[in-house]
Amino acid sequence: MKQSAVDAVIRGLKRAGVSIVCYLPDSLFKELYPALDADPDIRTIRVTNEGEGAAICGGVFLSGKRAALIMENSGLRASVEPLARMGLGAGIPVVMLMSYRGDMGENNWWAVPHGITMEPVLNALRVPYVVEREEDKIEQAIFDAYELAYSSYYHTAVALSGSIVR
């Protein structure tokens, strides 16, 4: 990611009121994670798997603070059980920011499943999402994801792809 895209993500998170980020690092967002760690206004929590991160974010919601779950889109699959239970069973929202592995332009065979499964899994969970491929859309997309999550008390997701992450 370019520094300007990293800055846009952090601007969006701050504008949405996020103060805690749970993440499991990946390669496409690799410049984002240390920037989040270094930001004095954001507490980062590194997790052992994305499902754990989703559950921690759910707990943060209950505290009145705002959290983000940041991960590669493969992490969505690891999060499905807690997302389904929290979102559909209790109305506890988690906002996700994902790198879109397996999109057009993917050059790794192992990432192909992530592209094939991401949108069907989001649709199966009825999670509203946007895919952004232009840097100037990032900040508003993140802000909007929180607006909807806190109106619906359900999960939302932003996937970043294209030149933003390559």
Binding site for another protein (CB under 8 A): 20, 22, 43, 45-49, 51-52, 55-65, 67, 81-82, 85-86, 89-92, 151, 153
- Rank residues 52 and 144 by Cβ distance to another protein and give the closer one: 52
**Closest CB 20 distance from another protein, rounded Å:** 6
8 A C-beta contact, residue 45 and residue 73:
no
Distance, CA of 142 to CA of 96 (rounded, Å) = 9
* Residue 105 token pair: 């332009």
Q: Which helix (H) or strand (E) element contains residue 19?
A: strand 18-23
- Rank residues 8 and 83 by Cβ distance to another protein and give the closer one: 83
Q: What is the CA radius of gyration of the chain?
A: 14
List Cβ neighbours of 150 (8 Å cut-off, separation of 6 or more).
93
**Closest CB 58 distance from another protein, rounded Å:** 5
- Rank residues 64 and 120 by Cβ distance to another protein and give the closer one: 64
- Rank residues 87 and 115 by Cβ distance to another protein and give the closer one: 87
- Rank residues 19 and 117 by Cβ distance to another protein and give the closer one: 19
**Closest CB 96 distance from another protein, rounded Å:** 15
DSSP letter at 137 equals: G
**Closest CB 47 distance from another protein, rounded Å:** 6
**Closest CB 76 distance from another protein, rounded Å:** 16
Adjacent-strand bridge partners of 96: 69, 157
List the beta strands (DSSP E) in 78-126. 95-99
